[in-house]
């Protein structure tokens, strides 16, 4: 079954074709970073308009690369939530219209399920059950995955998501949008241990996170410092250590609590090298496996949507032709496959 995947929930337009027999056939992502940079964050209306401009050319390019035409498609999957409503509607309307005209089934995919299943696109990927750490700009969740669509939320953030904490801290330190990767690059040149920030909520039981206090700690350290370039890098390093170590501590706890030895990491912050190294080290020491998607599938992309949609369409799931999106949508409400 050849499934077209469309992602348009935020500031990336992603298109891909996944073939349940032959794997990923082609994928393309267009990032709107340059468009939003001047505003220091995503402007929803500009995002929607840019998806309108980019989606069809990207779709043609992706099909051409796969050596296919729309007539070769057996189904269409699109992100139907959570995300920015206008941006979601662009993908949903395009996908629904295409599926209707081709008379093939279409399915709205949960964006976070896309992220969660992205590691399974890699060869030799683990199969459920496993614990998933979902770390993006909007989410920081630990989920016990017993099967596709069988998701139990074990821990969540009480305030800022991990990516949001990276982005806000980076902005405060004068780094350009999107701050996460910029701050991580700066941290790589920082001296570890010169600045130490707290590991929030690790001194008590439980799997929830709280990252909003860290940015205040970073601001105070920056204001009290000599404010030179090396100090900035050292503070960035201290911040990255605090976030990644907190995530690693809670991952180990979640594995113990779920009685599992397999961890997958997904979402934009999953591209963070320090997080990858820390978790790989902990896994080797404590006897659990860790799987990550390749970095380009950590951040938003169409491949994860095509893949998640293909699993559901192949299981016979699809919805009627209404163009419906869900800007808010708890992952636990999904149907099992
Ligand atoms: O999954 P994603 O592309 O979009 C959402 O669904 O939110 O995640 C984007 C988030 C942003 O907050 C970005 O700053 C963060 O992931 N991010 C990183 C890195 N690469 C992306 N954070 C830390 N280190 C990175 N290398
Ligand atoms: Zn995302």
Tens of pLDDT, residue by residue over 121-167, are 999 999 999 999 999 999 999 999 999 999 999 999 999 999 999 99
**Whole-structure pTM value:** 0.95
- CA-to-CA separations, 276 to 217, 233, 290, in angstroms, rounded: 24, 20, 9
Q: How far apart are the first and last CA of the chain?
A: 16
Same domain, yes or no, for 74 and 197? no
Alpha helices in 188-302, H assignment, sequence order: 212-224, 229-258, 273-286
Residue nearest to atom 14 of ligand 1 (CA): 180
Same domain, yes or no, for 272 and 154? yes
The per-residue pLDDT of the chain, averaged, comes to 96
Say how many Å lie between the CA of residue 184 and the centre of ligand 2: 18
How many domains are there within the chain?
2
If residue 88 lies in a helix (H) or strand (E), which one and from where to where? Answer: helix 85-102
- CA-to-CA separations, 224 to 219, 231, 235, in angstroms, rounded: 9, 11, 12
Return phi, psi of residue 60, to 5°: -65, -45
The pLDDT of residue 178 is above 90: no
Is residue 140 situated within a structural domain?
yes
Same domain, yes or no, for 256 and 194? yes
Say how many Å lie between the CA of residue 82 and the centre of ligand 2: 9
Q: Pairing mode, if any, of strands 140-147 and 130-135?
A: antiparallel
Measuring CA to CA, which residue among 73, 80, 68 is closest to residue 1?
73
Same domain, yes or no, for 136 and 242? yes
Is residue 38 situated within a structural domain?
yes
Measuring CA to CA, which residue among 102, 105, 80, 101 is closest to residue 91?
80
CATH number for the domain spanning 33: value is: 3.30.420.40
The pLDDT of residue 6 is above 90: yes
- Predicted pLDDT of residue 310: 98
Same domain, yes or no, for 160 and 261? yes
Ligand 1 mutation target, pool 42, 137, 141, 173, most atoms within 8 A of CB:
137
Q: What is the pLDDT of residues 205-259, one digit of tens each?
A: 999 999 999 999 999 999 999 999 999 999 999 999 999 999 999 999 999 999 9
- Predicted pLDDT of residue 40: 87
- Predicted pLDDT of residue 31: 97
Same domain, yes or no, for 68 and 210? no
Same domain, yes or no, for 148 and 272? yes
Is residue 102 situated within a structural domain?
yes
Closest ligand (CA of 266): 1
Measuring CA to CA, which residue among 275, 303, 334, 312 is closest to residue 121?
303
Give the ligand 1 atom nearest the CA of 271.
26
Same domain, yes or no, for 176 and 251? yes
Average pLDDT over residues 293-305: 96
Average pLDDT over residues 288-302: 96
Same domain, yes or no, for 85 and 45? yes
Average pLDDT over residues 190-207: 96
Place of tokens 């498609």: 73
Domain housing 319: 2-116+297-333
Same domain, yes or no, for 155 and 193? yes
Same domain, yes or no, for 162 and 264? yes
Is residue 121 situated within a structural domain?
no
Is residue 122 situated within a structural domain?
no
- Predicted pLDDT of residue 177: 86
Confidence grade of residue 192 (pLDDT, cut at 50, 70, 90): very high
Same domain, yes or no, for 238 and 304? no
């Amino acid at each position: 079954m050849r499934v077209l995947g469309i992602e348009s929930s935020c500031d990336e337009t992603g298109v891909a074709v996944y073939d349940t027999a032959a794997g990923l056939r082609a994928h393309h992502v267009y990032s709107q970073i340059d468009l939003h940079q001047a505003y220091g964050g995503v402007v929803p209306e500009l995002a929607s308009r840019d998806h309108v401009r980019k989606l069809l050319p990207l779709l043609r390019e992706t099909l051409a690369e796969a050596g296919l035409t729309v007539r070769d498609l057996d189904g269409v999957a699109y992100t139907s939530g959570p995300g920015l409503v206008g941006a979601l509607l662009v993908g949903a309307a395009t996908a629904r219209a295409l599926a209707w005209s081709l008379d093939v089934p279409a399915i709205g995919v949960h964006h976070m399920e896309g992220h969660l299943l992205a590691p399974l696109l890699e060869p030799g990927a683990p199969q459920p059950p496993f614990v998933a750490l979902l770390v993006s700009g909007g989410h920081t969740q630990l989920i016990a995955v017993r099967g596709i669509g069988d998701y139990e939320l074990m821990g969540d953030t009480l305030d800022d998501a991990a990516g949001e904490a990276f982005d806000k801290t980076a902005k405060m330190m004068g780094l350009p949008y999107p701050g996460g990767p910029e701050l991580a690059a700066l941290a790589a040149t920082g001296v570890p241990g010169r600045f130490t920030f707290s590991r929030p909520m690790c001194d008590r039981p439980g799997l929830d996170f709280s990252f909003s206090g860290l940015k205040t700690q970073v601001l105070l350290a920056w204001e009290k410092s000599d404010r030179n370039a090396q100090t900035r890098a050292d503070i960035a390093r201290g911040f990255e250590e605090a976030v990644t170590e907190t995530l690693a501590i809670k991952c180990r706890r979640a594995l113990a609590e779920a009685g599992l030895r397999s961890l997958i990491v997904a979402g934009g912050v999953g591209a963070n090298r320090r997080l990858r190294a820390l978790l790989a080290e902990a896994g080797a020491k404590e006897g659990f496996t860790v799987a990550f998607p390749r970095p380009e599938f950590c951040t938003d992309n169409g491949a994860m949507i095509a893949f998640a949609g293909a699993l559901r369409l192949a299981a016979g799931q699809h919805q009627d032709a209404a163009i419906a999106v869900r800007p808010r949508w708890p992952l636990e409400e999904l149907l099992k496959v």
